[in-house]
Amino acid sequence: MYHLLVVDDEVRIRSIIKKYAEFEGHTVSEAADGMEAVCLARKQEFDIIVMDIMMPELDGFSACREIRKSSDVPIIMLSARGEEYDKINGFELGIDDYVVKPFSPKELMLRIEAVMKRFKSNSQSVQKHENVVVSLDGGGLRADITARIVYIDNERIEMSPKEYDLFFYMLENKNIALSRERLISDVWGYDFFGDVRTLDTHIKLLRKSLGRYSRMIVTLRGVGYRFEGN
């Protein structure tokens, strides 16, 4: 069971999330704005943070930026807006998932479980295994799978947590056609809910991070994507 920090200026939203989370056996702390959330995150550890974007005092994006300076705690963003810009901004800041209001509390609980499962799996992988390094294009693109580090021309590049997840999954399944449904299910860790825009947004961000190697991610019209590398 997890200790959640739920951050939203709407008492009703916090109450709904708390009700469902406690029913699942989780412990819940609350914050009414981003400033309070940052202060709480500095004083104690949480397993995961669920945070709204539009709040007084300090918005969710700014709060996330402050929290990320000292913690890699998983963060799920809530927003009444589903614009691509907001999603890209959030993912570039290092959030783990993005949920648009109004949302299903049951779906949110599934997303929380999926994010935590993935977070724990990544942590255990780094602790248990020796580094596995994959070189592509004559070594121009190198990926340390265990340490989750990517190099282009011997320079380390930074990605958001979800970009790393997506990149390493596609790398492990290179030269295989991957449907959007499979990518969402395997990388996000929950059943496909039909929001292909989340996947497409991450593909766009990943291509940007890979620079000239973005050509390795091939779009398969009507199907999904394929990572081509050797």
Query: Residues 149-198: pLDDT tens digits?
Result: 899 998 999 888 788 889 999 998 999 999 988 888 888 766 545 467 77
Residue 17 identity: I
Based on the fold, state whether residues 119 and 134 are members of the same structural domain.
Answer: no
- Distance (Å, rounded) from C-alpha 1 to C-alpha 74? 15
Find all residues with CB under 8 Å of 104, minimum gap 6, and list them: none
Last residue of a domain, one of 100, 124, 148: 124
- As for how many domains the chain has, the answer is 2
Peptide bond into 102 cis (omega under 30): yes
- Look at 105 and 137; give whichever has higher pLDDT: 105
Last residue of a domain, one of 124, 150, 182: 124
CA atoms 216, 210, 165, 97: torsion sign: negative
Q: What average pLDDT does the structure give for the chain? A: 87
Rounded mean pLDDT, 13-36: 96
**Where in 89-172 does DSSP place strands (E)?**
97-100, 133-136, 141-144, 149-152, 155-157
Q: Which domain holds residue 49?
A: 3-124
**Boundary-marking domain end, from 95, 124, 153:** 124
Q: Are residues 116 and 29 in the same domain?
A: yes
More confident residue, 203 or 191: 203
Instruction: Estimate to the nearest angstrom the gap between the alpha carbon of 198 and the chain centroid.
Output: 10
Low-confidence winner among 112-121, 125-134, 208-217 (lowest mean pLDDT): 125-134
Query: What pLDDT does 91 receive?
Result: 84
Q: First CA to last CA across the chain, in angstroms?
A: 42
Residues 99, 207, single domain; the answer is no
Residue 56 DSSP code: S
Instruction: State the pLDDT confidence band at 115, using cuts at 50, 70 and 90.
Output: confident
Residue 123's pLDDT band (cuts 50, 70, 90): low
CATH of the domain at 140: 1.10.10.10
